Amino acid sequence: MFLKHEAWKLALAGAFLCGTAVQALAQSGGVYPTSLAGNGFGDQAACGGCGTTGAYDACGTCGGGWFSDWLPCDPCRSDTPYELPTPSFLACRGIDFGGWIEAGAAVVANRPVDRYNGVVTFADRNAEPQLNQLWFFLDKPAQNQGSGWAWGGHVDFLYGTDARFTQAVDGLESDWNQTQRFYQAALPQFYLDIAYNDWLLRMGHFYTILGYEVVQAPKNFFYTHAYTMQYGEPFTHTGLLLSRKLNDQWAFSVGAHRGNDQFDDTDGQDALGFLGGVNWTSRNERLALAFALSADEFGPQTQRVIFSTVATWNISSRSQYVFQWDWGNAEDARGVDSQWYGINQYFFYTINPCWKFGTRVEWFRDSDGTRVTGIGDGNRLAGASFPGDFYEISVGLNWSPRANILVRPELRWDWYEPEGSVATLPYDSGDRDDQFLFGCDFILKF
């Protein structure tokens, strides 16, 4: 029955093309590293040549691992990425220059007339190739080896279709008079770091410390994002954040910001919000917990509180489980409360140094219909309210033939259970309560 939909056929064609690209890139060579030390799993596996019993070696058929024979790894895989040369006037000051380019496409098993993939964002256009991220950064770590003073900083520049989702709501990019529907630019981060002994003070515009998924594509496993990341959490803050590492197990941060995804004080309140968090890591580095909270005022007599808890369990050298719980509450000037909350679960299994399997299961409840909506110029769901529960299951692979190349095919199924009757549904331009999506992107780091 699904095969009657042209979009489903396009999804199969996209899977074939993505697989063809994977096969072609798999024929390239390089040099494989001799150690996996420092991967943070505690019982780090050795990396050796073929024939090393039990080793996490370069050859998929040697050393074991589920599906190793199905997804072989190039024994000459390079672990040294190509990097753009840093200009000498930056290098001599300890400033690193780099970035990446990410491009992909997503196809849903319907044919939405507005060509939007419902309320799914980032990979939001149906059957339309997207340059999601052309990213450049300047980075100087504030390194003092735990003693004395040091300074550093970071600047990010983003161009592409993802820039629309990470712009400050008030000020900054909104003043640039950008007229393109999909391709825009953003400055998601520019901050100064000052370190003194175990203290670090960050001042400027920076990404939130809430949640698990991030905007930077190479740091995520999946091409698409969870509802909690897009609708439940802020992206950026502008303010101050003071952090301290107490020991190898404990660290904390506390600071003030001008509002979630806000750069200017446009409401005239000049109110400061709170941002803070606590991080704990077990001695064997198998278990880590992170709690973060943001509280702010986003209008006259309006308050908002959001927190996230993320637990990471490194089950073994190959497998990892992540649990995330988010909760948010906002109260408007009339005293009316709205709440949203959700649970994300991730499981990752490293098949071999080139291949990694992952799955994400999410439940996100927008109980008052104030968070999830259509985003984007021409999206028929823009401004629509969807009180109820959103669910999604994503399954994917990461393939990295070289340290600076990453291909991420993904299958995703979303469905929605409304709270009472609703006038519009969140998929297929408002006509469906579920959606099947295939996506695949390519990342080249430099």
Sorted by where each begins, the domain ranges of the chain are 2-31+76-445
The count of residues in the chain is 446
Tokens in use for 42?
Answer: 């505690």
Q: pLDDT digit string (tens) for 49-91?
A: 433 333 444 444 444 555 666 677 766 666 777 787 888 888 8
Question: What is the value of pTM for the model shown?
Answer: 0.84
- In this structure, how many other beta carbons lie within 10 angstroms of the beta carbon of residue 149? 10
Return the pLDDT at 41. Answer: 31
- In this structure, how many other beta carbons lie within 10 angstroms of the beta carbon of residue 41? 19
Phi, psi (deg, nearest 5) at residue 247: -165, -165
Q: pLDDT digit string (tens) for 191-219?
A: 999 999 999 999 999 999 999 999 999 99
CB 275 within 8 A of CB 255: yes
Q: Which of the given ranges, 193-207, 265-279, 291-305, 322-336, has the highest pLDDT on average?
A: 193-207
CB 291 within 8 A of CB 326: no
Q: pLDDT digit string (tens) for 114-123?
A: 999 999 999 9
- Name the residue type at position 164: R
Top-tier CATH class for 2-31+76-445: mainly beta
Tokens in use for 259?
Answer: 């509002």
CB 151 within 8 A of CB 176: no
Question: Which band of pLDDT confidence, cut at 50, 70 and 90, is reported for residue 429?
Answer: very high
| Burial track 404-424 (b if 16+ CB lie within 10 A, e otherwise) | bbbbbbbbbebbbeeeeebeb
CB 407 within 8 A of CB 18: yes
Nearby residues of 108 by Cβ (< 8 Å), 6 or more positions away: 7, 11, 117, 118, 126, 427, 428, 435, 436, 437, 438
The larger pLDDT score, comparing residue 286 to residue 172, is at: 286
Return the pLDDT at 17. Answer: 43
